[in-house]
Structures are given as C-alpha cells and as structure tokens.
Amino acid sequence: MAAVDVRTGRELPEAVRDFIAGAGVLVIDGEERPRSSDGGVFTTVDPATEEVLAEIPQATAEDVAEAIAAAKAAHDDGRWRLLDPGKRASALLKVSDALKRASKDLAWIDTLDHGKSLRLSTGELIAASNTFRYFAGVVDKPSGVVIPSREGRFIYTDREPVGVCAQIIPWNFPLLMAAWKLAPALAFGNTAVLKPAEQTPLSALWLVRILRDAGVPDGVVNLVQGVGEVTGQAMITHPDVDKIAFTGSTEIGRHIARAAADNLTKVTLELGGKSPNIVFDDVDLDRVARRAAFACFYNAGEVCTAGTRLLVNANVHDELVSKVTAAAESTKVLPGWFEDAGMGPLVSDEQLQRVSGYVDIAKDEGAELITGGGRPDGLDAGYFFEPTIFDGVSPGMRIAQEEVFGPVLAVQTFEDEDEAVALANDVSYGLAAGVWTSDHGRAHRVASKLQAGTVWVNTWGELDEVASFGGFKDSGIGRELGPHAVEAYTQPKTVRMAT
C-alpha cells in the first residue's frame, strides 16, 4: 500500500511511513531506547521539502558509554567472535538477502533523508547487499603463517579481531557507508558502535534490525545517534574503544587522529578529495564528456571521490568543455522521487551555503562561470543547486584546491603529459584520479605517477567491496574493503612455543 501525498505527488509506501514514525531510537545491547539519558533530541529533515521527517534521541556521553560497554562485553565473552565461522557467514548472507528484499522500501528512506534519487538509493542498497555477501565469504579466510625457526621452537601467527570498533559515518551514502563499516568489522569477529551522520540518521536502524533478525547477537552492533561534537566526541575519547573507523571531512579526521593518539586507539580515516580527471586528445570526446559530467555531478557532487577537476589537453579544450556543459545543462534537478530526477537537492542548508560560498569565491578569484551557479528555476523549497562549471581555473585558486562537496566542476588546461601529472598532483588530497587516453603506454605511465589511492583508466567512479579503498596524502590513513580489509579489522598475534 502506498499513500499519495497531495502536495508533493510522491507515493510513500506505508511500511516506510510507519518505519519513520518509529525511527527515533538508540539501540544498546539489543534494546531499542526511545529516549536518551537526558531526553535531548535532534531533528532530521527532507532536503527536497525542508520538512522535518523525525525527531531522534541524541545519545549523551553516558549513552555512548553504555553502548561501548555492551560492545566490550560482547567482545570479551566471545558471543560473536567465537561463534562457528559458518554460522557467522550464514548470518551475513541472510543480511545480504534481507537488504535486497527490502530494497524498494529502504531506498525511500535514504531518498527522503539525503535527497538522492530513488534510482541512486536503490543502486546503493544493492551495493550494500553485495558488501555483506562478499564479507560473508571472507569470514573463514584470514589465516596466519608458520615461521621457520631453530630446533626446539615452533612459531606461528594468527589473526584476531581488533575488538570494539567506533564507526562514524557521513551523510552522502548513508546505508552504503554503514554496510562498508559493519560488514568487514563483523566478518572478522569485531563488535561495533555505529553513529550515522546527524543529517541522515534513519536507514541505519533498518539495517541494525536486519542484523538482529539474521542472528547477530545483542550487543555486537549498537546504534547511537547525535551530532559529532556530543555523541561522536564521546565515542572517539572513550578508553574502551579499540579502533575508530571514520569517513568524513579532513578537518574532523585530523581531530579524530589527535583524540586517538591520547588512548593509542587504532584508526582508519577515509577523508576528502579534490580528484583530477585527466583527458588527453586521443579519446572519444562524447563518451568522455558524459562520464566527466557524471564524475562531478553524480549524487549532487556529494562524493569524496568526485572528479571535481577536469584537466584537459589544450587542443581539445573547447570541444570537450562545450560537451560537458551540454551534459550539465541537460541534467534534470528534481526531488529524488521523480522518475527522471538526474540530480536531487544538497543534503542541508549548511551544505547549500557552503557550495554557494565557493561559487562566490571562484568568481572573485577570476574563474569563468560557464553554466549554473545558483538555484534552478521553478524549485522554491529545498536545497537545490544547479550543476555548475568554472573554466580558466588556475592552480592557486581555492576552487582548484579545496573540497566543495557539491556539483561544481573546475576546468584546468594542460599542454603535455608532464604538465597534466604536475597539475593533478598539485593539491593536498590524494583520494582518486582518472586518465582518459587510447595510448596504453601513457595510461600506465600516468597512472603510476598519480598520487591517489584509486586511479581509473578510461572510466570513472567504479568502487566496490572487492577492491581496497583509501587515500594518499590528506585523504586518509589505511585502506578499507577488498584484500586490505583484513588489516583494518584484525591484528596479528605471534605464538612462540618451546617444543
């Protein structure tokens, strides 16, 4: 059953409406608590309408301490890590299946809470489901080695879970980020306290209920909600946290690294980017233009790996820029529940102000505004912003150096390969980069010189659970997913025996 909202025209499934009505809870040791210890709350809004969706209890330091105590007890008594690996794998497979089954309803939650189109939310749910399936497959794979030694000694290594993981995630891919954090932590036997971003608190609760129904014991995954300065801060400073896994801004990443230093807590940080997309002159410009627009405007540009700097060979500059501009101008900016929504609103008024602010800065610095730059016509409510392109951007401009986290593309021009690489690397970030060329030698040469955790050649944006992900330079510390996830969520132990 779906109820049609007369004003917005959206058909909200009843299961979604009911879920949101009851979404104001924390989950601590398996108990859903509708109230925080001091009764404090915050609200989450639908960025397409600016309406309040739900009031959520804000976890205090006391609530966080209880959640961490529950996760610690679950780790210490081994109710999850010592379970038969086959049983742990089968629970994670059930989670994968349940996510797929719920995808129609669950997609609505992130569309309402974040603003992205239903098409994108649905795709992310499938990706989240795949993440749990992949990590179900690695539960029994971590293994140690036997180390040759002298007679009378037997030395081997084993891999153990790290322990209690404080997982703090951003608002740009709410459910997928929760999956990227929880699936590997659980696969390798850890316990967790998860905090979604305060802008998008809703969908994680659905996932936590799925985990419970799949047989993950109480206390293994705890859900706290609240703003970073209160709830997040209590998580990163607690001495019983063994590992902090954070995705978000470089500024808060630095703050977390400092807090982690005090308790010597292990930490992985997935931070910001200003990723270069390098286009040489020997490519199909129509195809590249479509992909370059996608690289920057996908998810309204709220993507850490967004291709926000288009570096183009001078001799194809005019043609490529006019094609990318056409792609930007044909993108339909609409609320996410419209079938033809190419781009939804930004997540919050704060983000809208931030993006508008960067447009003003770019104009002041002398960059040339080619298209966009403001609110689209005909949308009066909501935090909508047009796909925006600046040309004539020079490396010293802030628009070339700083993360905007919105649909704003900066075009820079190069004359040869060396200049392209120098421009690409001339930022403090190093998360992702792209190279478009039909010359294979050049593709390898350039890929090897780019300072980036992920390099795409003749494509952009593919990220999934099978490959490791993380940043060079100010884009982070450590790697998640793929073959390196085991390093993020286990620690080796050496056993030396006298025989």
Residues that bind ligand NAI (CB under 6 A): 168-170, 172, 195, 197-198, 227-229, 232-233, 236, 247-249, 252, 255, 271-272, 304, 354, 403, 405
The smaller minimum CB distance to ligand NAI, of residues 235 and 312, is found at 235
- 380 by Cβ neighbours in 10 Å (0-12 / 13-18 / 19+) ranks as exposed
φ/ψ of 146, rounded to 5, equals -100, 130
The smaller minimum CB distance to ligand NAI, of residues 305 and 437, is found at 305
In the complex, minimum distance from the CB of residue 430 to ligand NAI, in angstroms, rounded to a whole number = 13
In the complex, minimum distance from the CB of residue 198 to Mg ion, in angstroms, rounded to a whole number = 8
For residue 332, give the amino acid letter: K
Choices 193-201, 242-250, 380-388, 404-412 (CB under 5 A): range interacting with Mg ion: 193-201
Residues annotated as catalytic (active site), given as ranges: 270, 304
Maximum separation of any 2 CA atoms in the chain, in Å? 81
Choices 110-118, 350-358, 387-395, 397-405 (CB under 5 A): range interacting with Mg ion: 110-118
How many CB atoms are closer than 10 A to CB 284? Answer: 11
Q: Is 49 among the residues that bind Mg ion (CB under 5 A)?
A: no
How many CB atoms are closer than 10 A to CB 382? Answer: 24
Q: What does 255 interact with, of ligand NAI, Mg ion, none (CB < 5 to 8 A by kind)?
A: ligand NAI
Residue nearest to ligand NAI (CB): 228
Query: Which residue is associated with the tokens 């569309």?
Result: 111
Q: Is 198 among the residues that bind Mg ion (CB under 5 A)?
A: no
Report 5-44 residues binding Mg ion (CB under 5 A): 44
| Residues counted in the chain | 499
Q: CA 267, CA 258: separation in Å to the nearest integer? A: 10
Report 289-348 residues binding Mg ion (CB under 5 A): none
The smaller minimum CB distance to ligand NAI, of residues 121 and 437, is found at 121
Q: Report DSSP state, residue 428.
A: S
Q: CA 356, CA 41: separation in Å to the nearest integer? A: 29
CB 470 within 8 A of CB 315: no
In the complex, minimum distance from the CB of residue 85 to ligand NAI, in angstroms, rounded to a whole number = 31
Choices 105-113, 158-166, 299-307, 332-340 (CB under 5 A): range interacting with Mg ion: 105-113
Q: Is 111 among the residues that bind Mg ion (CB under 5 A)?
A: no
In the complex, minimum distance from the CB of residue 45 to Mg ion, in angstroms, rounded to a whole number = 5
How many CB atoms are closer than 10 A to CB 465? Answer: 24
Q: Is 386 among the residues that bind Mg ion (CB under 5 A)?
A: no
Residues 6+ apart with CB under 8 A from 369: 359, 362, 363, 388, 389, 390
Q: Which residues of the chain form contacts with Mg ion (CB under 5 A)?
A: 44, 113, 199
